[in-house]
Copies of this chain bind each other. A is one copy, B any other.
Amino acid sequence: MTRPIVTLTTDFGTSDYFVAAMKGVILSINPEVNIVDITHGVMPHDILDGALTIGQAYKYFPSRTVHVVVVDPGVGTERRPILVASDTHYFVAPDNGVLSSVYDQTEALYVWNIISEHYFRQPVSKTFHGRDIFAPVAAWLTKSWQTASFGEPITDFVRFGIPKPKANGNAIKGIVLRVDQFGNLITNFKPEDVPALLNGGKVTIRAGNATINQVVPTFGSAPAGQPVGIIGSSGYLELAVNKANASRTLGIARGAEVTVELG
């Protein structure tokens, strides 16, 4: 029997006791769990950023992995804790839309409002449900795999749309979704939005102070210092500068507008 895997995705950072408390709670319930950090560097309170992160990461894990996602500015208020099962993975999170990108990638979807308080750590704090609700529910789930025992099925869970590019005449307007560790600007353009990006057609990309005409296959094939487009590892158009920081070079960050013009 393989050890169950529980992943953690939060905006807690790694300098406080928050993440450790969640790990301790999980291991106290099921010491066999293999806990894997996805990241604790989600931007504070930023549900979209959390949604993008878990949406990119979860699919690389084995079936039956339990993903705990805590980006939870409404902790302690009326927002519900939920347990989600797809065909292959489980998710435990607040019902605030942080699983929206997961929903977009999942066919069969079962969602429960978590109400079985005997699985909670008592007393339940009003400010740290990661420790008192989400972590213990994930740990208990790895012992029983009985999703239905945690609450009631619901269908009105919160779901928002990941921003998509919009056509405007000959131009398509999108945005920078994230800036990665290297300063690459991850846009919300997918090749299906602009097929010319993949088939070598002519495009002009405008972003910040740059006008980009080149879409290259690898970072290393870009001329030094010159901004280029590249279809990145998660399938989005990225703006990059070979061995340099595109966010700094172009003078833009998350949320900035990106325009792709055809021809």
CB within 8 Å of B: which residues of A? 2-3, 5, 7, 11-25, 27-28, 31-32, 34-42, 44-45, 53, 56-62, 65, 73-77, 125-128, 131, 178, 180-183, 217-221, 230, 232-234, 242-243, 245
Contacts and interface: CB of A to CB of B under 8 A. Distances in A.
A21 to B, nearest CB: 5
B75 A2 contact: no
A119 to B, nearest CB: 16
Contacts of A12: 181
A58 B25 CA distance: 11
A127 B53 CA distance: 18
The prevalent SS among residues of A at the interface is loop
21 contacts: A3-B31, A13-B180, A13-B181, A14-B37, A14-B40, A16-B181, A17-B234, A20-B36, A20-B37, A21-B56, A23-B61, A24-B36, A24-B58, A24-B65, A25-B60, A27-B61, A60-B131, A73-B243, A75-B219, A76-B218, A127-B232
A227 to B, nearest CB: 16
Copies of this chain held together in the complex: 3
A220 B58 CA distance: 28
B126 A77 contact: no
A56 B5 contact: no
A21 B242 CA distance: 23
Contacts of A15: 39, 41-42, 180-181
Q: Which of A16, A45, A128 has the most CB of B within 10 A?
A: A16
Nearest to A232: B127
Nearest to A76: B218
Given A24-B57, A36-B20, A243-B73, A41 B62 contact: no
Contacts of A217: 76, 126
B61 A38 contact: no
B14 A39 contact: yes
Contacts of A234: 17
